[in-house]
Every structure is written in C-alpha cells, then in structure tokens.
Structure 1
Amino acid sequence: MRRFFDREDTRWRRGNGALHFYLAPPEDSPLWDLVREAEKPLSALPQIGIQPPECIHVTVQRLDLYRDEISDAQWEKLRSQMDRRMAQIDPFTLTFAPTAVQEWAVEVISPENPSFTRLIDAVRDSIVDAGLGEALTDPPFGPHFSLAYAVAGTSSEEDRALADALHALKTDNSMECSQIALVEVDQDQEAGIFSFRPLYTWTVGTPR
C-alpha cells in the first residue's frame, strides 16, 4: 500500500470540520462483527491507521466546505432540499465483497448499487439547489468503507499476508441503509483516522 495522505483529495483547506455526507452502520449491523474480527490481523501492520468503530462510514459525498462558510439561508435551503429528496429515497441494502487490501487502504467494497447511485444524485442535486454547488467534489468510486488507511508504505509481502488473514474472516458483509447524516469530519494524518460529528440526520423514505 501507498501512504493514503499523499493523495490530492486529502489536502483539505482545514484539517478539522470538513462537511461530508455519510452512511454509518446501524447499531445492530452485522458489519460490527467484521470490524471487531478484523482488528487483530490489522494490528499486525504498524504502517496502517485502524479506524475505531465509531469512525466507520460509507462516504456519499465530500464537500470542500465548512459550517461557518454556509449562510443561514443556505443552511435552511439545504435542509429543505434534503428533506424533500430523502423522503423519495427508499431504504436499501449494501452487500459487500470480502475485505481487500487496496492501493491506499484496507477497504470493504460493494458492487455498483442503483439505490446508492440515486442517493448520491439526490444529495448532489440538493447541494446545487441550495447554492452550494461550487463546494462539490467528485463522488465516490462506489459504495465502500475503509477499515484502515496506510500512514506509511507497506511491502507487497506484507500486503499479501494481511490479505490472506482478512480473507479468512467469515462474516455477513451486509449493511442496511436507512439514515444519512451531514457530518463534520476531522482528519488526523498521523494516526490515519477520520473522526466525525453528525450535524443533521435524515431517515430515507420518511417525509418531514
């Protein structure tokens, strides 16, 4: 793996408080079993930053934007646009492939999912209609979450050993998606951790 924080998209204007839209596993999600079981093999590699359970998330949309840069009118418009569009999205399930050691991180990736794509489109449209379109960044490559990010380079031998250990984990890699949150994200490049604080949460398929 290569150092994750050498990527251009990690060079935020501020290290703390960037606004993102996240899906987080519900409390009863079987994904928590995977998170717990993966900790031991992940901890054998000191060059990676393991995400604490409370930091696990699926990114829907990142913004180059911070809360103090949004006017009250834009904030209310964003909330109202999201209220309307999230009520039109049905809950859905993501089914993930086995954990994989990728170029920059240890990731759990779902195949392309039409419901996830519709959710991204609805969020992006809401942002544009709130007058915040200039803050949009590229959408994610697909539904996925990261168990760990590389904070230093690893060898191909280390990657293969970790991949073999992770592939042996037998867990149900599915996640029910019924809530989406607008969060403030803090980036700790030394520890390799993205922590976040929810600002507002929507339950999909539920009118406000």
Structure 2
Amino acid sequence: MTGSEQDRVQAIYDEFAKTYDEHYGSQAFQEEDVALFKILSPWVKGKVLDLGCGTGLTLSYNNIPAEDYLGVDPSAGMLEKLTAKFPKYSVVNSTFEEWDKANPEGDFDTILALYGAPSYFDKESYGRVLERLSPKGHYFLMFYKPGYFPAHIYTPEDIEAAKARIDYDLINSTFETTFIFTSYLVATNIPRGFLPVK
C-alpha cells in the first residue's frame, strides 16, 4: 500500500472509530460475532498477535492474559477506544508491515486479522504471517470476499484501490484452508473438521 493510500485508510478509520462500536453493536452484527467466536475462540491460545485489532473485539470475546496479547492497528482512533476498554493490554499504532520490519523476531501461537483487516496487507507480507507463527500455532485471517467491500465506509475510488490490492490467487496458494464466512474469505490452518466447510 502506498503512503498516500495508507494515510487515506488511516484517516477513514480514525473518523469511523468515533462511532465504530455503536455501528457494529446492532443485533445482526453481534450474532455474526457470536458465530465467529464460536468457531475461533477454542483456538485463541498462548501468545496472541491481533492484527488490525480495532477497538478490541477479540478481547471482548476471549479471556486472554494481558501479558500474552499484542494488538497492532494503524488507526490511533481505534486504539484509543481499545485502550479505554482494556487499559492493561499492549497495542502498537502501526501497519503490520511497519511493525514486522521493526520487530522481525519472535513468534506467536495465535495470529488473527479479523473482519477485513488483512485486506490492507501488502501482498508480499502474506507469507510473513506464516513465518511469525509458532510451530503448533494457528492463524485466522478474514479478507473481504471477492466482490465485497464495506460501501458504508469507502468511496467508489477507495473500493477500486482496495480491489487492486487483494490477490485472491495468492491467498489461496499461500494459506492452508480458505472458506467463505458471511462477507469474508477466511484463510486459516484450523483443522477443517472444526470449520463450517464441506
């Protein structure tokens, strides 16, 4: 993602942070969250890296010790909301790529990027998720599925730029299992028997 694209996305989410929890607090979104964490929560263990952590959804649904959690998000507005709700948890105001470059060592038992967060990763960084994973760890990445982008957040120009950024062929070849969950293409190594796939 170019610097100007990153600045644009960051500005959008800094503004959206003001009403983010209220917007996604409706019953329909909460039901989606419950369905998601019914799948995911049994696998959220050990050291957790939460990429695009937003306002702390993962922490709302999982009892993660503060010393085992690191949230990374480029939106200062989102992180301000998270730290207000979960003041003991560590967060970094950065993109995944910038954080990874500054902190190239260390692995994690769980790596999450939920509700479209990995859609903003540079294609070259997909493989870095796997390299940061501990030998028996699990990852769960939710890219926007083909044809879907949150039009309530973005302009048509923003959506076209995002479409050009996501490489679905590379996602399918890089990650172990992919499946559609609501509006997202999930990439994960959670065993298929525990996933809503045929």
Provide TM-score, normalisation by structure 1: 0.25
* Rg larger in structure: 1
Of the two structures, which has the highest relative contact order with CA contacts closer than 8 Å and spacing of 6 or more?
1
- Per the normalisation by structure 2, the TM-score is 0.26
Higher helix share: 2
Structure ranking higher in strand proportion: 1
